[in-house]
Amino acid sequence: MQHRLFRFHIHLFNFRSIVPEELLALFLALFIFIVPVSADTRFETRGLYMQSSEPSATTSYTVSLQYMTPQPVGSLDMLFCIDPIPYMPCVTPPGLDVSNAALTAQTGETGFAILNKSPNHIILTRLPSMIMGGSASSYKLDNIVNPSQANQAFSIRLKSLGSIDGSGSQIDFGSVRGQVQTGTVIETQVPPMLIFCAARVVEDDCIGTDDTYYTDMGTLSAKSTLTAQSQMAVGTNATGGFAITANGSPLAAGTHTIDSPTAPTPSVPGTDQFGINLVANNEPSVGINPQGTWANAVTSPDYGVPNQYKYVSGDVVAYSPNVSLMKKFTVSYILNSSPSLHAGVYTTTITYIASGRF
């Protein structure tokens, strides 16, 4: 036997000679090659102040920045785009117009005048002169028409150049971010809406329910599990989606309470236990899986496992991270009791709250 083991070892040794350990080491090194997350912030001082942030208002912008490179600067290029990244294609923010802009004030590096301007582009020019480091510079531009879309950020891509006409290679660069917002929302589009209903039985689109907002689970017994179910339908056209939380204390009769598991747990008859989930179960047989073709709306992981029940007041039981057409969820309730449970009528009210997301 030992002789055979030696022969096997010799065979392996030959194999190792044709698959060098170095190759294996290289392969492993590639696998564990991890580039750590890193972050850095460029241009500590640059910003934009919009005198008015109302959409489509004619206002003034003050652009502030600090030149970093001690070189002669002859022009400052300002390109207004949705995307702040310099190498990305420039899409003009809808409604923005800087073609009538006027340079009305400047601090720090001064002596600039407007050379060229178009609806989304301004070039400031001066005789090239050396940058004196230290303080920040600012340029106030009047008669700028704000973008019209309040929900979309925009940016000004800035770059300083040695030439007087914005040509040639850049010296410093960076972008400033702006966004128009409004005090009162002008409903130019269909406003976001969140539709929600809950009852023992609801229709898919919430236009009807059975108008029953309670469920009688029957008489408690240590030998069997009481079950019930209710339904809720929800949908939203808001890009942030929705969340539904279940709120309310566990069942109680006076000071006596039936506890709820704080983690998904199987139903155990003979113990004090109240729990819910939002899927079909067979232990005990209760519930229906979520109904609706739209995939965005889902149950929370803890409330989406068949035959596992949980109830913690305030928990999110279902949500969608973005737009979701109407989806119907069926809530399954289970109630177990121990022989020692104090006699009484155990009740609770569970409030399902549907909210937007941020």
Partner 1 sequence: MKRFKGIVLVVVAMLLGATYLLPALSANAQSSASLSIVPKKNYVIEPGKSVKDTIVIRNLDSVQPLELSLRVVDFTFTDDGGTPKLMLDESAPQTTWSLRPFLTVPQNVSIPPSSSQTLNISVAIPANQGAGSYYSAIIYSSGSGTGAGNVGLSASGATLVFTSIPGKVKEDLSLKKFGAYDIAANGNTSGYMFVTDKEPQSIGYTLQNNGNVTESPVGSIKLRDMFGREQTIDNVNPSGSLALIGQTRTYTTCIKLAPQTVDFNGVKTSANSCTSPGLWPGYYHATLDLFYGQNGNNTQEITGVASFWYLPLWFIIVLAIVILALAFVVWRVVTKIRTALYGPKTKKRLHRR
257 near partner 1, rule: CB under 8 A: no
Tokens of 144: 């700028």
For residue 125, the minimal CB distance to partner 1 (Å) is: 24
Strands 324-336 and 273-277: antiparallel
Interactions with partner 1, residue window 74-133 (CB under 8 A): 83-85, 88
DSSP H/E element including 17: helix 2-18
Q: Tell me the C-alpha distance between 129 and 112, whole Å.
A: 11
263 near partner 1, rule: CB under 8 A: no
Q: Tell me the C-alpha distance between 19 and 30, whole Å.
A: 17
178 near partner 1, rule: CB under 8 A: yes
237 near partner 1, rule: CB under 8 A: yes
Which one, 139 or 319, has the nearer CB to partner 1? 319
Kindly list the distances between the CA atom of residue 155 and the CA atoms of 146, 214, 243, in Å, as whole numbers in the listed order. 12, 54, 32
Interactions with partner 1, residue window 283-302 (CB under 8 A): 295-296, 298-299, 301
Stretch that binds partner 1, among 95-103, 111-119, 141-149, 168-176 (CB under 8 A): 168-176
DSSP H/E element including 300: none
- Interaction pattern, residues 145-164, with partner 1; x per rule: CB under 8 A: ------x-x-x---------
- Write the single-letter amino acid at 261: P
Omega cis (within 30) before 284: yes
Phi/psi at 24 (nearest 5 deg)? Answer: -65, -40
- 148, with CB counted inside 10 A (0-12, 13-18, 19+), is middle
Q: Which residue's entry shows tokens 């002596």?
A: 111
Which one, 125 or 236, has the nearer CB to partner 1? 236
Which one, 168 or 218, has the nearer CB to partner 1? 218
- Interaction pattern, residues 55-74, with partner 1; x per rule: CB under 8 A: ---------x----------
247 near partner 1, rule: CB under 8 A: yes
Task: Select the residue interacting with partner 1 from 59, 173, 200, 338 (CB under 8 A).
Answer: 200
For residue 314, the minimal CB distance to partner 1 (Å) is: 7
Q: Under a CB-based contact definition with an 8 Å cutoff, are residues 336 and 271 in contact?
A: yes
Interactions with partner 1, residue window 6-25 (CB under 8 A): 6-7, 10, 15, 17-19
Task: Select the residue interacting with partner 1 from 304, 312, 338, 341 (CB under 8 A).
Answer: 304
Interactions with partner 1, residue window 320-349 (CB under 8 A): 321-323, 325-326, 333, 335, 345-349
Tokens of 195: 């539709």
- Interaction pattern, residues 201-230, with partner 1; x per rule: CB under 8 A: -x--xxxxx-xxxxxxx----------x-x
Task: Select the residue interacting with partner 1 from 112, 309, 319, 329 (CB under 8 A).
Answer: 319
For residue 97, the minimal CB distance to partner 1 (Å) is: 19
305 near partner 1, rule: CB under 8 A: yes
Size of the site for partner 1 (CB under 8 A): 118
The DSSP string of 108-170 is SS---EEEEEETTEEEEEEEEEE---SS-EEEEEEEEEPPS-TT-EEEEEEEEESSSSS-S-E
